[in-house]
Amino acid sequence: MLHQIQPLGRKICLFSTLSLFFINCKNDSASENQTALETPQKPNIVVIMADDLGFSDLGCYGGEVDTPALNGLAENGLRFNAFYNTSRCCPSRAALLTGQYPHQAGIGQMTMDRNLPGYRGRLDEQTVTLAEVLKTAGYQTGMVGKWHVSPTENLGGNEQLEWLNHQTEKETFSDLDTYPTARGFDKYYGNIWGVVDYFDPFALVNGTEPVKEVPKDFYYTDAIGDSAVAYVDHFVREEKPFFLYVAHCAPHWPLMAPEEEIKKYEQVYDEGWQKIREERYKKLIEKGIFKGDTTKLSEFMFPDLKWAENENENWDSRAMAVHAAMIDRMDQNIGKLIDKLEATGQLDNTVIMFMSDNGASSERPSQYGIGFDRPSETRDGREIHYPVKKSEEHLPGPETVMSGIGPVWANVANTPFRYWKARVYEGGITSPFIVHWPAGIKEQGIVKSQAAHIIDIMPTLLELSGATYPEEFNGNTIDPYMGESMVSAFTNTEEAPINET
């Protein structure tokens, strides 16, 4: 696949036609003062992260999912077609928060402490977070949603399951000095660990206090959205800018959504894998995300599979319908946040950035089973099933079924690319990236082809805020950030020459 991208102040080496590795060419000291952006006042900053979102899932990226809020941000802002992540959840979050590559930040893999440099399962003391730096520039800070950069405690056996099943309680889910409130966030509501039951999440805290019960009609995506709105209400009482990090869990497995949301997509995926994939690619080209002569649709990774011969058609169609419903509900809650920013007069001078931590996931929860961060029962004692076989008895959607979309739908979700989360192919490391900033973006609705990486968020926010990246913080020597600011790509209407890579 020939993919045209433009450089963003770094060399790009292509080791295969589908995987990019970045070599950073930055030579200036990380301690040098950043130039404050010339705006009448510092902008508010909202960073929104989805979890396991496919490159083409959103309507504005060619998908069939109803995403009017994100579509609106794209139409009145910018979309990027070459924005990269680390292909995995915790490493991407560490890179986002610190501006360093995951191993430098201490989370080279997941949140287990392996007592090895780069694999401590927590953010190193030689890092500073976006929130810590922005606070020094006068910003109020808040976070809602998935943290997942604290060590995951494993008690083992029945003791772990009783804890996961809400049968026993503990006051902490990791060391408190690894919580968001210890890393620069004034306010926090969300899950410290990774996998959640969307109807009754484990490791849910408000600040540092465990949330021990949730209402019967609780759905976590809504709670994240409502908390984000409440934080904006709180922030606007002060005449100070704010930074809000909204980390949705959706659409990460388990596939769980309110039934009324699933019904909207009940028949959408009856067309099957190949048909949906072809339609997505066609829309990607029509919307100008890519050019058809330079970005071809990769070969379907499962050529021997035919939807007409699929014995599990109902189960597979339902799985993708739930995936779509989860994205739809996330978009609705992003819409509530946008409405609040507009109602409070903050929208024009708020920079909103949207991305995903990695591509869509091929994982099947049945390959892991119960334990670690996966419960065996609901709070009220109902068995949670991890179906190995796709039976009508255990369809995706409810709280009692742990399921994922699997590799075939993941290949579709990441159209036009190959592979998925945890693979260093475009399908794993490429994310939708949307920027909305009425006060700063001069040419709206266009697609940018500059290559950028999740580590670029730190220097971008430094330039937007006028904050200075520290050499020392809380008595620790701080390692330099590794990215480059994207602000010029946001504000510059001139396109740099395209490099073919």
Nearest partner of 67 among 83, 84, 53, judged by Cα: 53
Residue 89: active-site member: yes
Q: How far, in Å, CA of 196 to CA of 262, rounded?
A: 19
* H, E, C per residue of 263-293: HHHCCHHHHCHHHHHHHHHHHHHHCCCCCCC
Residue 394: active-site member: no
H helix or E strand, kind and range, residue 159: helix 157-164
Query: How far does Cα 244 stand from its chain's mean position?
Result: 14
Residues 6+ apart with CB under 8 A from 351: 43, 44, 45, 46, 435, 436, 437, 440, 464, 490
> Which of 148, 166, 252, 436 is labelled catalytic?
148
N- to C-terminal Cα distance for the chain? Answer: 10
- Coil/strand/helix, residue 446: strand
Q: Where are the beta strands (DSSP E) in 341-440?
A: 350-356, 430-436
Can you list the alpha helix ranges (DSSP code H) found in 344-473? Answer: 406-413, 426-429, 457-465
Integer angstrom CA distances of residue 98 from 9, 29, 92, 184, 459: 19, 16, 10, 12, 10
* Whole-angstrom Cα Rg for the chain: 21
> Which of 89, 166, 248, 252 is labelled catalytic?
89
Query: How far does Cα 123 stand from its chain's mean position?
Result: 18
Q: Are strands 140-145 and 187-191 parallel, antiparallel or unpaired?
A: parallel
> What's the CA angle centered on 497, arms 496 and 500, to 5 degrees?
130
Query: Catalytic residue numbers?
Result: 89, 148
